A and B are shown apart, each in its own frame.
Chain A
Amino acid sequence: MPRITVTVDGIQYEEDVEPRLLLVHLLRERLGKTGTPIGCDTSNCGACTVMIDGKSAKSCSVLAVQADGCDVVTIEGLGANGSLHPMQQAFHEEHALQCGYCTPGMVMAAIDLLRDDPDPSEETIRQGLEGNLCRCTGYCNIVRAVRRGAQEMGQAVRTP
């Protein structure tokens, strides 16, 4: 059984894993990181999106062995010192979640899309979130939240 080393939310783990084990199952069932849920088995819904080495990825489509040596950030590792990340805060302010099941993945995808475009238009946001499905919100408030999050994050960068 391959042994991998993976850093998750700042803590390094060494794990023996079956080659077929999905990263999302490693996170949820071995490391207790249940903040990342599973919504489908075809990588269409995006609920399980995490950051791998700074880029968003659907953790149901990544084998645990592929994460060997990687730095993984889940929703549980976002924010600092008990305070919310500006994107999490923006989702709260804009009522961009209802049941909340898609929310961790949606927040991760939203943060990632700002890497390419820190000041995205509505159109860019809608295209950027295409891989993350929500069944509750109709996306109106999610789009607003991403705009707001982008503004907050931009301001955070500008004001040291």
Chain B
Amino acid sequence: MTTQEVGRPRRRKEDARLLTGRTQWTDNLSRPGTLHVMFLRSPMAHARITRVDVSGARGLPGVVAAFSGQDFEAEQGSLPCAWPRSGDTVVPDHPPMAVSEVRYVGEAVACVVATDRYRAADALEAIEVDYEQLPAVLDMNEALGDSSARVHESGNRAFTYRTTSGDLDAAFRDAPVVIDRTFVQQRLIPSAMEPRAVLCDTDGDSFTMWTSTQIPHILRTMLALVTGVAEHKLRVVAPDVGGGFGSKLQVTAEEVLCLLLARKLGKPVKWAESRSEGNLTVHHGRDQIQHLRLAADADGRIRGLQVELLADMGAYLVLLTPAVPLLGAQMFNAIYKMDAYEFACTGVFTTKMPTDAYRGAGRPEATFGIERMMDELAAELRMDPLEVRRRNWIRHEEFPFTTISGLTYDSGNYEAATERAMALFGYDKLRAEQNDRRDRGDPVQLGIGVSTYTEMCGLGPSRWFGDNNAGAGGWEHGSVRVLPTGKVEVVTGSSPHGQGHVTAWSQIVADALGVPFEDVTVLHGDTAISPKGLDTYGSRSLTIGGIAVLKACDKVRDKARKLAAHVLECSPDDLEFEAGAFTVRGTGSQKSIQELALAAFAAHDLPEGVEARLDSDVTFDPENFSFPHGTHLCAVEVDTDTGMVKIRSYVAVDDVGKVVNPLIVDGQLHGGIAQGIAQALFEEAVYDADGNLLTATMADYLLPSAADLPDFALDRTESPATSNPLGVKGVGEAGTIASTPAVVNAIVDALRPRGVVDVQMPCTPERVWRALEGARR
């Protein structure tokens, strides 16, 4: 009898290496004779390059080569944008190394290749660059004005996008309540702990690149398209990758340039960024101005929602830039029913680092907007914020439910999650304490923040990607091989960077094949080993990649059944599969999957049409997204004298469908909640008026430490997804999506009696204090 593995809190197989330092971070790796690359980066936000002279660097001790953008002009191609979702999207030429113009601080203008990184750093100082300064373009509203300087010849508008459902005019006409608010989603720096690094080696006409990436498969194809290196001559390896959160979902200038350098020099080259270089040049997240209008009846029922976004693209469109804000197009209506909905977005070029996917990508922004509006509606109607949500959300018995923006939510139970969260939080008691503090005029006020969210998770059905003008689909690959000795080797196209695929996939396979958990290993992240895949982002690993592996197990089992029937001389229908063995019903004679693997390897006596070896190969494409949901409640104490915000308690009840490994699920939620709280309270990428990034180091960009965060209380409800056989929904982004509005709603709730209706993120003590001062006047 084997134990059920799916659902079990298994300790991770990945940990042993990571805990003892036996890791393969890209910067740990080296090839004989590896040369070090460093880039000279633009100190100006916008300038014409009039001269680059690298001759001073050449000939310095240890320097092998130095190049300017001009040296790459003929071969460097343009960095790709793979998802120009709106038909009118302008995709400007984007050279990996600037040739004639720079458009953000940090853009590479020259590089040095040297025998070690210290020599390379020395040599950068000897490169001379003359710039003719051009006006920086920083503010999105100004950028769209007629008098603004242009980031690109074509202007500063990257795209416009609009979608409407229902009669918006009718919804707003004579509406008893109209809420009108503008929210700012500040620019964030994803800040994976491992800085990026690239090592590229060549044996003459073929190349191997080790890189800290989430997307080895996509990267390989894109590098081939950009540089002309033949795809079959290029192997991309993502070894241990130290976090991503979207920031390593990219085809970077440095990856392209390292490939070109390895080709030019015929030698292995390595680049490892410093954090201050990374903050300038790893794509940023968020950065939207959201104008929302909501019309409602006097009883709180939503009639219509109008969303107008400005989304900062930065200076160029990188892999998914224009699609990220548009992922919110179907999410602003969230879990609520309404008669009319309009979403409009303008993408704007500015002279800043490009934005792209960051944990949640478009969905945290949308959830923030609608969840802030729900609290504002509740305040306007003097109603409990949970009551106003209850009156509008899709009821349990209404699933599957097609929303006004056209998604079909398959399953969910908002009532159950909310009730459980309220109980765990002690909602009524905290409300009583809040009233008491208000009555006493306590300088420390208590605020309670609510966020009831859903997300379109598990990106995604290929058909949907096609309908939305993406360059690729959303399938995933899995393959399962039962080795001659009965051990199982799994190959997944999903490329993890901390999510625990090896452990979770082992659990899935152990159950599906009836083999011990310890007998399964999982290979990933190397295009030579895992030839097919679309990698890891958008909480798609388990819901698509894990399911591909499950389906590969099904296929292996089907093959094993044919073989067992042949060996046991019975019909396949007479066989029962349990605990890893096929038994002939009623006789007790059986063959284990391990015995069958050996027989399939030996191939001495295979039935007609059955090939040697017990293995399989599957791609899985989901029919729909999955829709995790949950209720997050946050209590904050706000010191009205100083503006200091302290999180007193945080409760999250999430429904992520079936859970494969509760330890991993809780861990992902913890991390996600922390990142969302960090947006609410701490983090912001700040540029000065000239376009210099003032938060280029970790000393300036405030990431929360253990001392800044509370413990989180987690619980779960379970509504299995119907779009995959495991019923899993995905969890990677849920915490981040839910937590930011919960925290800001709590802060505003604490201060509302004093006239505060909004505090712009991050809600630093100064911002909170100023909001209070502003309300007092």
Contact = CB atoms under 8 A, between A and B. Distances in A.
Interface of A: 18, 20-21, 25, 28-29, 33-42, 44-45, 47, 74-76, 78-79, 84, 88, 91-93, 95, 97-104, 107, 122, 125-127, 129-143
Interface in B711-735: 711-712, 735
Interface stretch (B259-267, B544-552, B665-673): B665-673
Contact of B194 (A37, A78, A88, A139): A37
Nearest to A140: B670
Given A99-B497, A130-B706, A42 B21 contact: no
Contacts of A126: 705-707, 709
Nearest to B672: A138
Interface string B230-258: 00000000001111010000000000000
B498 A100 contact: yes
A159 B195 CA distance: 43
Interface in B301-347: none
A34 B25 contact: yes
Contact of A95 (B11, B193, B697): B11
A135 B192 contact: yes
Contacts of A138: 670-675, 709, 712, 735
B276 interface: yes
B699 A38 contact: no
Interface residues of B, number: 57
A137 B23 CA distance: 19
Given A76-B20, A78-B20, A134-B193, 18 more contacts: A18-B118, A37-B23, A42-B275, A44-B699, A45-B698, A84-B16, A91-B15, A91-B19, A92-B11, A92-B15, A95-B11, A99-B240, A107-B19, A129-B707, A130-B705, A134-B706, A138-B712, A143-B706
Contact of A101 (B25, B116, B668): B25
Interface string B15-58: 11111111101011000000000000000000000000000000
Contacts, number: 183
B688 to A, nearest CB: 19
Contacts of A122: 711
Interface string B640-682: 0000000000000000000000011011101111110000000
Contacts of B27: 28, 34, 37-38
Nearest to B713: A140
Contacts of B194: 37, 39, 99, 101
7 contacts: A35-B20, A42-B698, A101-B25, A133-B703, A137-B671, A138-B712, A139-B706
B243 A74 contact: no
Contacts of B243: 98-99, 101, 135-136
A103 B274 CA distance: 19
Contact of A98 (B20, B28, B499): B499
A136 B499 CA distance: 9
A74 B23 CA distance: 14
A143 B712 CA distance: 12
Give the residue among A78, A91, A95, A143 with the most B Cβ atoms within 10 A: A95
B506 to A, nearest CB: 15
Nearest to A91: B19
B590 to A, nearest CB: 37
B262 to A, nearest CB: 20
Contacts of A78: 20
Given A130-B705, A135-B243, A98 B500 contact: yes
